[in-house]
Amino acid sequence: MIPVGAYVAVSVALFALGVICIVSRRNIIYVLMGIEMILNSASINFAAFGRYNGDGLEGRIFVIFIIILAAAEAAVALAIVLNVFHLFHTIKPSEVDLLRE
Amino acid sequence: MELFDYKLLLAVPAIPIVGYVIQIFFGRHLPRKGDWMLTGGMFVVMCITVYMFLTKAIGFEPSPGNAALLHESAKEGGPIFGWLYSSAEKAPGFNLVAGIMYDGLGAAMLMVVGVVSFFVHLFSLGYMNGDRRYHIFFANISLFTFAMLGLVLSDNIMFLFIFWELMGLMSYLLIGHFAQDPDSPRITHAAAACKKAFLTTRVGDTCLLFGMALFYWKFQTFQFTELWRLSAEEVARNGGEYPMWMTVGGFFIFGGTVGKSAQFPLHIWLPDAMEGPTPVSAMIHAATMVAAGVFLLGRTFPMMSPEVLAIVTAVGAFTALFAATIGCTVNDIKGVLAYSTISQLGFMVAAIGTGGLGLVAGLFHMVTHAFFKACLFLSAGSVIHGCHHEQDMRKMGGLRTKMPITFVCMTVCTLAIAGMPLFSGFFSKDRILQGTLGNLFTQFRGASALSIVALSLAAMLTTFYMFRLIFMTFFGEPRDHHIHDHAHESPWPMTVSLMALAALGLFGGHFWLLHPTDPLAQGHHGTWFTQLVDWKTMYGGVFDPMAANMIVDRYNPYHLVDGQYVLDSAIVAAGTEHYEHAVHGAHYWALGISLLVLSLGLFGAWLLYYKRKVDPARITGALGFGYDVVRDKYYIDEAVDGSVIKGTMWLSRVQKWIDEKLVDGLVLLVGRIGKILGYICSWIDKYIVDGAVNWVGYTTQAFGSVARLFQTGRIQQYISFAVAGGILIAAVHILT
C-alpha cells in the first residue's frame, strides 16, 4: 500500500505548481488553470486521507463536489474573463488593476 | 322696587359705554353719523337719573338726608362685582369689590351729570354740525359721560380713581379735538393745550394715588364707608388727635383735587383747555369734570385732618380771588368763563375746608354752578357760533337784538353766578359765606378769617367781570359791523339746551323744588340740597364731623377712661349747638355781604362798561404795572415754564449727556474689549485648534499614502503576499 505521505507529496507539488502558475503567468487563462490545479491538489488530499482513514465515502464525495464546483467556477470565471477582455481589451492580470482604487 | 332701582342705576353708566362702543366702530356709517343714537341714549340716562333723584329726594322714601341713604353700599345686597377678589386663605385682606354708592350727594351729582350731559349732547347737534370728526366727537363725549357717571356711583376710592383717570384721558382727547383736524387754524394750540392739560392734571393724579396708597396701607380697604369708619376710630383712639400720616395722606388726596379742580398752582391747564370745542368746555371744564375734584373732597372729608382742611380753605380762597382778578382783564369770551370757573371752584374748595355747613354749601355750589356755568358756556358757544367763530369780546357788542334767546339765557345765568337773590347761585354762595363765617365765629382760624375776606372780594369781582362780559357782548354799539351784520340766532337744539339750563340756573337752588305743592314745608332756610345732604348725617353716622373737628376748639369731646378714649356725646351735642348758633348768627352777615358785593360789582360794571362814564383804559393806566401783572396771569405760566419745564428739560439734557458720555462710553468700552478678545480667540482658533485638526488630517494622509503602495490592484501580487504570509505563518509554527 502506498503510504499517505506520497499522496500528500504529490498534492503539495501540485499546489506549489498551481500557486506558481497563478502568480507568474501573464495570461489570465493560465491563472484559471492554476486555480484548477490547486483545487485538484485539495481533491487528492481528500481522496488520500479518506482512503487512509477507513473505507467511508466522505473523502470521495468531497472530491465529486469539488469537481462540480470547479466546473461551475470555471464557467463563471470564463464569463468574467470575457467581460474583462471586453472592458480592458486585454487579459493580462497585471494591467487589470482597477481594484487599486 | 329696590332691585329695580339697582338695575336702573346700572343702566346709567351702561348706556353711554355701549353707545360709545357702537359709535366708535360704526358711527361713521350710521345715518347722521350716529349723533341721534348717543343723544337719545343720554336722554334716557337723564330721565333715569332725574327719576332716581326724585325718588330719593321727594319721598317715595321717607325722611331723606339720614343714614338710611347709605343703604346701597355694596354690603347690603347691592350689586357687587368682584374684581381682583382673592379668597381669605390665599391673600388675606386684599379684595377689590366694586359696588354702587347712591347717597344724597351721589344722587344730586348723578342728576346734575345726567342733565348737563344730555343738554350738552343736544347743543352739540347744532354746534358741531359740519365738523370733520363729528362722529368721533360724539363717541368721546359719550365715553366721558360714562366716566363721570361711574365716578359718581363708585363706592370705593379705587374705582373712583379709575374713572378719574379715564376722565383725564377723555379731556385730553376732547381738548385736542381740533388737533386732529388738519384744516383747523388752531391745530398747534389745541395740541399744546391738550398736552398741557393732561400733564398738569397728572401731577394731581399722582398725588391722589399716593394718598390712596397711604390710606390703603393703614386701613386695608378702599371702600368709602370703611375708610370713614376707620378714620373716625383712628381719631378716637388717639383722643381726638389726627395722626401725622392722616395729615400727609389727606394732603395728597387734596393734591388730586388741586389738579382736577384746577386750584392754584395747578390751575394753568384750564384756561388753555378752552381750545377744545365749546360744548366740551361747558361739560368738562365747567360743569362736571372739574367738579369731580370737589366731589372727591366731599367723599373723603372724614379722612381730612384739621391741618389739611386749613390748607384746603386757604388754597380755595386764594384761588377764588386770584382767578377772579385775572377774569376781569381777559377779553376772550371763553377765557372770562374759564377764569370764572377756576374762581368758583375755589369757592367750593374753600367752603369744604371750613367743614360743617360749609361742606354742604361747597357741594351745593358744585351743583348749582354746574347748571349755570354749563348754560354760560353754551351761551358763549352760541355767541361764538352766531358770530362765525369770533371769540374776542372787543369785536362784539349790541348782540342782544340779534340773539335774543342767547341773551336772555346768558343774563339769567350771569345773575345766578353773581348771586342775585332768588337765583340758584345766591342760595349756594350765600351758604358758603355763612359756613365760612360760622367757622370763623366758632374756631377763629386764621385761614377762615382770610378766606372770608378773599371770598367776599372774589364774589364782588365775579359780579363785575360777568356783567362786563354781558355789557361788552350784548349791549352798546356794535364795534365790528361785519360781525354784527352777519350774527344770527342759533338753531333750535342749541337754544332749547340754553333755555333748559337757564331754567335750572334760575330755579336750581330753590328750596321748593322738592315740595312744589307746599313751598314752606321745610321752613324758609331749607334748600333741597341741605335737606338731601345734611352735614351731621351725610357720612352715615360712622363719622361725626363735629366731634372730629372740635379738637382745635375749646371743646374736647374725648375723655380718657380706663386707658381708652371715649366720646362724650354731651360735649359733642353742646359743640354742635354752639356751631349751629354761630352759623345761624352768621346768616344775616352772609346775606348782607352777598348783597353788598353784588351791588358793588354790578355798579362797577354798569359804570365802566354800560354807561362808560369812566374809560376802563384810564383805570388800567392808573394801575400801571399792577394791571400788567394781572393781565399776564401773574406770570404763573411763565414761572412754571421757567422752573418746572425748563428744569425738566435741563435735567433731561444732563441725563442725555450722562447717557451719551458715560453710559455709551461704557458700552463702547465693553464693545472694544470684546473685539480685542475676539481677535485673540480668532488667532487661537486659526493657529492652534485648526492646526491640531489639520495635523491629524495630514498624518492620516501620510500613513494612507504609505499604505497605498501595497494597494496595486494586481491580483497576482495579492496572491503572492497571501502565499508569502501563509509560508511565514507556517515557518513560525514550525520553528517555534
**Over 90: is that where the pLDDT of B107 sits?**
no
- Tell me which chain B residue has its CA closest to the CA of residue A35: B719
CB contact under 8 A, A100 and B713: yes
Give the pLDDT confidence score for residue B550 in this predicted structure: 59
CB contact under 8 A, A31 and B716: yes
Chain B nearest CA to A98, separation (Å): 6
Instruction: Name the residue among A23, A31, A98 with its Cβ closest to that of B713.
Output: A98
pLDDT digits (tens, 9 = 90+) for B684-720: 999 999 999 999 999 999 998 888 887 777 788 888 8
Suggest the residue from B710, B711, B716, B727 to mutate for an interface test with chain A (most A CBs closer than 10 A): B716
C-alpha cell at B106: 351721589
Chain A nearest CA to B734, separation (Å): 17
**Over 60: is that where the pLDDT of B86 sits?**
no
Give the pLDDT confidence score for residue B511 in this predicted structure: 55
CB contact under 8 A, A94 and B711: no
CB contact under 8 A, B720 and A23: yes
Please check whether residue B705 touches A, CB under 8 A.
no
CB-based contacts of B630, cutoff 8 Å, min separation 6: B325, B326, B328, B329
Give the pLDDT confidence score for residue B630 in this predicted structure: 75
CB contact under 8 A, B714 and A94: yes
pLDDT band at B205 (very low <50, low <70, confident <90, very high): very high
Please check whether residue B715 touches A, CB under 8 A.
yes
Name which of A42-51, A59-68, B94-103, B157-166 the model is least confident about: B94-103
Give the pLDDT confidence score for residue B672 in this predicted structure: 94
| Model pTM score | 0.75
Mean per-residue pLDDT, A10-35: 90
Name which of B38-42, B77-81, B570-574 the model is least confident about: B77-81
Give the pLDDT confidence score for residue B57 in this predicted structure: 67
Mean per-residue pLDDT, B635-656: 85
Residue contacts between A and B (CB atoms, under 8 Å): 31
Suggest the residue from A38, A99, A101 to mutate for an interface test with chain B (most B CBs closer than 10 A): A99
Contacting residues of B for A19, CB less than 8 Å apart = 719, 723
CB-based contacts of B96, cutoff 8 Å, min separation 6: B83, B84, B85, B156, B158, B222
Angle at B27 between CA B25 and CA B30, to 5 degrees: 125
Mean per-residue pLDDT, A11-36: 90
Chain B nearest CA to A96, separation (Å): 7
Contacting residues of B for A101, CB less than 8 Å apart = 713
pLDDT digits (tens, 9 = 90+) for B445-485: 677 788 888 989 999 899 988 988 888 888 877 777 777 77
Instruction: For residue B508, count other CB atoms closer than 10 A to its CB.
Output: 28
Please check whether residue B726 touches A, CB under 8 A.
no
**Over 50: is that where the pLDDT of B523 sits?**
no
Give the pLDDT confidence score for residue B403 in this predicted structure: 84
Give the pLDDT confidence score for residue B253 in this predicted structure: 93
pLDDT digits (tens, 9 = 90+) for B256-305: 999 888 888 888 888 888 888 888 888 888 778 888 999 999 889 888 88
Give the pLDDT confidence score for residue B75 in this predicted structure: 41
Contacting residues of A for B715, CB less than 8 Å apart = 31, 93, 96, 99
The answer to whether B509 and B420 are in contact (CB under 8 A) is no
* Mean pLDDT taken over chain A: 88
Q: Which residue has the higher pLDDT, B442 or A65?
A: A65
pLDDT band at A36 (very low <50, low <70, confident <90, very high): very high
CB contact under 8 A, A93 and B716: yes
Give the pLDDT confidence score for residue B7 in this predicted structure: 67
Question: 3-class DSSP state for residue B162?
Answer: helix
pLDDT digits (tens, 9 = 90+) for B364-420: 899 889 988 999 988 888 888 888 777 888 778 778 788 888 888 888 989 888 888
Q: Where are the alpha helices (DSSP H) in B475-568?
A: 481-486, 492-507, 528-532, 545-549
Give the pLDDT confidence score for residue B513 in this predicted structure: 52
Q: How far apart are CA B440 and CA B553, in angstroms?
A: 11
Q: How far apart are CA B507 and CA B416, in angstroms?
A: 9
Instruction: Name the residue among B711, B715, B723 with its Cβ closest to that of A93.
Output: B715
Contacting residues of A for B723, CB less than 8 Å apart = 19, 23
- Tell me which chain A residue has its CA closest to the CA of residue B727: A16
Give the pLDDT confidence score for residue B681 in this predicted structure: 93
Instruction: Name the residue among B712, B713, B716 with its Cβ closest to that of A22.
Output: B716
The answer to whether B505 and B420 are in contact (CB under 8 A) is no
pLDDT band at B85 (very low <50, low <70, confident <90, very high): low
Contacting residues of A for B712, CB less than 8 Å apart = 97, 100
Instruction: Name the residue among B714, B719, B720 with its Cβ closest to that of A97.
Output: B714
Mean per-residue pLDDT, B97-126: 85
pLDDT band at A54 (very low <50, low <70, confident <90, very high): confident
Mean per-residue pLDDT, A55-61: 81
Per CB distance under 8 Å, which residues of A are interface residues toward B?
19, 22-24, 31, 93-94, 96-101
Q: Which residues lie across from B95 on neighbouring strands?
A: B85
Q: Which residue has the higher pLDDT, A49 or B9?
A: A49
- Tell me which chain A residue has its CA closest to the CA of residue B719: A23
Instruction: Among B352-366, B387-401, B607-621, name the most confident range.
Output: B352-366
Instruction: Name the residue among A23, A96, A98 with its Cβ closest to that of B719.
Output: A23
CB contact under 8 A, A94 and B723: no
Instruction: Name the residue among B712, B716, B719 with its Cβ closest to that of A100.
Output: B712
**Over 60: is that where the pLDDT of B613 sits?**
yes
Give the pLDDT confidence score for residue B67 in this predicted structure: 32
Q: What percent of chain B has pLDDT over 90?
A: 16
Q: How far apart are CA B723 and CA B736, in angstroms?
A: 20
Give the pLDDT confidence score for residue B521 in this predicted structure: 47
Suggest the residue from A22, A29, A33, A38 to mutate for an interface test with chain B (most B CBs closer than 10 A): A22
DSSP state of B264: T
Contacting residues of B for A99, CB less than 8 Å apart = 711, 713, 715
Q: How far apart are CA B44 and CA B38, in angstroms?
A: 10
Name which of A44-58, B240-254, B458-472, B684-698 the model is least confident about: A44-58
Chain B nearest CA to A86, separation (Å): 18
Suggest the residue from B715, B720, B727 to mutate for an interface test with chain A (most A CBs closer than 10 A): B715
Q: How far apart are CA B369 and CA B305, in angstroms?
A: 27
Instruction: Name the residue among A22, A23, A99 with its Cβ closest to that of B713.
Output: A99
- Tell me which chain A residue has its CA closest to the CA of residue B724: A19
Mean per-residue pLDDT, B113-142: 87
- Euclidean distance between the first and final Cα of chain A, in Å? 54
CB contact under 8 A, B712 and A31: no
The DSSP-derived string for B650-681 is: HHHHHHHHIIIIIIHHHHHHHHHHHHHHHHHH
ω into B265 cis (within 30 of 0)? yes
pLDDT band at B680 (very low <50, low <70, confident <90, very high): very high
pLDDT digits (tens, 9 = 90+) for B541-580: 677 777 666 555 556 677 777 767 777 777 777 777 888 8
Mean per-residue pLDDT, B513-536: 58
pLDDT band at B506 (very low <50, low <70, confident <90, very high): confident
Quick one: which of B726, B635, B229, B601 has its CA closest to A19? B726
pLDDT band at B2 (very low <50, low <70, confident <90, very high): very low
Mean per-residue pLDDT, B133-144: 88
CB-based contacts of B203, cutoff 8 Å, min separation 6: B255, B259, B266
Q: Which residues of B57-89 are buried (b: 16+ CB within 10 A; e: fewer)?
A: bbeeeeebbeeebbebbbeeebeeeeeeeeeee
Q: Chain B window 57-96: which residues touch A at a Cβ cutoff of 8 Å?
A: none
* Mean pLDDT taken over chain B: 81
**Over 80: is that where the pLDDT of B157 sits?**
yes
Q: How far apart are CA B178 and CA B240, in angstroms?
A: 53
Mean per-residue pLDDT, B357-362: 86
Instruction: Among B26-40, B95-109, B227-241, B685-699, name the most confident range.
Output: B685-699
Mean per-residue pLDDT, B351-373: 87
**Over 70: is that where the pLDDT of B76 sits?**
no
CATH for the stretch A4-95: 1.10.287.3510
- Tell me which chain A residue has its CA closest to the CA of residue B720: A23
